[in-house]
Structure 1
Amino acid sequence: MSDPARQFGDRLSLAMKLLNISQGALSSEARADKSLVSRWARGIAAPRGPYLAVLTGIVRARVPAFNQLSWDLPLDAFAALLGGEAPPPEPAPRPAAAPSDIPHSRLQSAVEVAREGAAYPGLYALFRVAFRNTGELLAELIVLWREGDRLFFRSFDPSFSHAGELFIIRHQLFSIAEDDARADGMSYWIVNGVAGQKAYRCDGIAMSVAGDRYRTPGATVFVLQRIAELGDDGAPPPVAVLTAISARMKAAYVEGRIDDLAGPRICAAIRSVVGVPRVDGTVDHHLRQPMERSLSVSEVELSPDIAADIDRVCADFTEGSGAVPLAYTRISA
């Protein structure tokens, strides 16, 4: 097996099963957090520093012939040393369904990307509430680019990186994205798009899981606001540019400035309420973002107040970062 963490995880989980060691007991004996033990057993991470020797000692206390080299034995030999048998090999898994394996939507989106796809590539600030249910507003960097008749995006942040494909279906954008840095989560978007012209602001609903111990599922309204253009080649900008912008977004969050940067319109849209009357008397019985109150606008719909919102965010996040400035003409009131 080529993945050392996965190889170790298979053997550790087998040893725990054959020796009747619970995750809690192993955590206590190794003096390691339960979440770390879980990552070892699931093959997400391999033990570092003294932990390998500690784990070896725990097994050796029950199997005297066990030593640190035993972790590298073939699984059958490893199981035999512990007095058991290796589990039968699992059947070969089916290939993961990639976005291009959605045949009907894929074909329809290709037609619509050819017609409307030029409206979306660029750099965006995505404003949303935190999935950990604190009520805090966050900003994360989104890069969206086009390759032929397909649209792709990546969320760029020091702690995670969701990436996926966007499908245009009847002026709305749909996505299924995965965390390809840690391979431990996915996200789903439905975005209210614009009609043909360059998009400067789009809103929609995102669904993912929180970073808590239970990985709590949640959904939130979000707003994408364009903050920079791509270069002439249409490719995402250099990592140094993305890193600089992402660092500014993180600093704004730490300093408590995201609400002020987003502005009252975006804050009101994101902090949507369910099950209670809104100001206009309507009641949302589930989380939704209908077009009658959507903030999605194209370049032909820019008003002075929206342009002012965009300029404020750009000044904070992108000036001096090396990003290509927005190409629109500033609108005076």
Structure 2
Amino acid sequence: MRPIAFSEKLQLVLKSLSVSRAGLAAALNVDKSLVGRWASGAVMPSEHNRSLLTQYIAQRIDGFSMLDWEADINAFSARLGNETGTGSSTMQDWIPDALLEEATRGAKRRATAYEGIWRSTRYSSDLPGRFLHDITLIRCNRENIIEFTSGIEGVRYRGRALLLQHQLFSIAADEEAVAMMFGIFNGVARQKAEVLDGLSIATLRDAGGSPACSAVVMHRIADLTGAADADTQLFEASVAAQNPLAEERAVPQDIQDHLARTASQDTPGLMRMLFQNSMARGPLLEPHSAG
């Protein structure tokens, strides 16, 4: 079984049994970071640990066995007692059908324009005048739902995005910190996206979990290979290689100016990324040389 296929099934197990990664790790007597790597698809559990995991599930789902891991994702989901498999079913509970249908159509037509590895740039909340970088993996699943994982050092936000008109509406969660993140990003109309910008809302890592809204510019740094495992490994390698704190004077002045002017001068307290001033674009066209 491929690691990414196992990770999808493990995430279904966690949701179906309403158990956290930390809770599962305690039950199996393994480190919670190991369960996190299983769930991300970074590694596969050993035969011994998969046997322990199977026994754990069998105590809650009668007759569950090692053979059940070989079922396809929809059959596996049904084996856990879910009425449907992964994908749009989990989103239909809280998103109106008309919006979900439009987002699914949009993803079917345009998701490939956004798939890839991205590096974001945003202001640091702790160090005035400095900038932070995150790495984000964006890809579309078999149900035409855009999925993404954002990472910075040991933090991982995993979520989904709806493509509506020319905007990406996203929601993600960090299960370890029990935190959520929301975003709205300007997209591109026809070209393959190379730059995106928008607003991200999350909580700071301070004692009170203070809400913060950040202006963000994202640059594509790699295309997907088409192999899910290889793309996940590329994402993790990119996170590991990326220094979260940008070097001083490393962020181009036009990016600094763009992020700075999102705060409205005429409406205090409002941060906005106006579409008419958006930096979102496709690839730059090379000028034709004189023949």
Mark yes or no: TM-score above 0.5: yes
What is the Cα deviation at residue 130 of structure 1? Answer: 2.6
CA 1:257 to 1:116, structure 2 compared with 1: closer, same or farther past 3 Å?
same
Q: Give the Cα–Cα distance (whole angstroms) in 1 for the partners of residues 187 and 20 of structure 2.
A: 41
TM norm structure 2? 0.62
Higher relative contact order (CA 8 A, sep 6+): 2
The answer to whether residue 158 in structure 2 is matched with residue 158 in structure 1 is no
Contact 1:145–1:152, Cα closer than 8 Å, also in 2: yes
Given candidates 274, 279, 285, the residue that maps to 1:290 is 274
Given candidates 123, 127, 132, the residue that maps to 1:129 is 123
> May I ask how many residue pairs the two structures share in their alignment?
207
CA 1:272 to 1:209, structure 2 compared with 1: closer, same or farther past 3 Å?
farther
Q: Give the Cα–Cα distance (whole angstroms) in 2 for the partners of residues 4 and 109 of structure 1.
A: 30
User: Which stretches in structure 2 are left out of the alignment for 5+ residues?
Assistant: 1-17, 24-31, 33-88
Cα RMSD, aligned residues only? 3.3
Contact 2:121–2:218, Cα closer than 8 Å, also in 1: yes
Q: Give the Cα–Cα distance (whole angstroms) in 2 for the partners of residues 247 and 209 of structure 1.
A: 23
Aligned to 1:50: none
Given candidates 230, 254, 260, the residue that maps to 1:237 is 230
Aligned to 2:259: 270
Q: Give the Cα–Cα distance (whole angstroms) in 2 for the partners of residues 331 and 175 of structure 1.
A: 38
What is the Cα deviation at residue 292 of structure 1? Answer: 1.6
Could you say what secondary structure the match of 2:161 adopts?
strand
The 5-angstrom pairing of residues 54-203 of structure 1 reads 98-101=90-93, 102-104=95-97, 105-132=99-126, 134-148=128-142, 149-180=144-175, 182-203=176-197
Q: Give the Cα–Cα distance (whole angstroms) in 2 for the partners of residues 220 and 172 of structure 1.
A: 17
Q: Give the Cα–Cα distance (whole angstroms) in 2 for the partners of residues 117 and 145 of structure 1.
A: 8
CA 1:221 to 1:247, structure 2 compared with 1: closer, same or farther past 3 Å?
same
Aligned to 1:92: none
What is the Cα deviation at residue 244 of structure 1? Answer: 3.0
Q: Give the Cα–Cα distance (whole angstroms) in 2 for the partners of residues 118 and 4 of structure 1.
A: 31
Q: Which deviations, in whole Å up to 9, do the C-alpha atoms of 1:95-135 show, x marking residues without a partner?
A: xx954431332211011112222210000001111344744
Aligned to 1:321: none
Could you say what secondary structure the match of 1:199 adopts?
coil
Q: Give the Cα–Cα distance (whole angstroms) in 2 for the partners of residues 128 and 5 of structure 1.
A: 30
Q: Which deviations, in whole Å up to 9, do the C-alpha atoms of 1:20-59 show, x marking residues without a partner?
A: xxxxxxxxxxxxxxxxxxxxxxxx9xxxxxxxxxxxxxxx
Q: Which amino acid aligns with 1:257?
A: E
Q: Give the Cα–Cα distance (whole angstroms) in 2 for the partners of residues 3 and 115 of structure 1.
A: 35
Q: Which deviations, in whole Å up to 9, do the C-alpha atoms of 1:137-180 show, x marking residues without a partner?
A: 10111000011311110012322100111101111100111113
Could you say what secondary structure the match of 2:230 adopts?
coil
Segments of 4+ in structure 1 off by > 4 A?
1-6
Q: Give the Cα–Cα distance (whole angstroms) in 1 for the partners of residues 224 and 22 of structure 2.
A: 38
Name whichever of 111-120 and 137-146 sits farther off: 111-120
CA 1:205 to 1:3, structure 2 compared with 1: closer, same or farther past 3 Å?
closer
Contact 2:262–2:272, Cα closer than 8 Å, also in 1: no
TM norm structure 1? 0.55
Contact 2:186–2:197, Cα closer than 8 Å, also in 1: yes
Given candidates 195, 216, 234, the residue that maps to 2:210 is 216
Q: Give the Cα–Cα distance (whole angstroms) in 2 for the partners of residues 109 and 136 of structure 1.
A: 36
The 5-angstrom pairing of residues 43-62 of structure 1 reads none
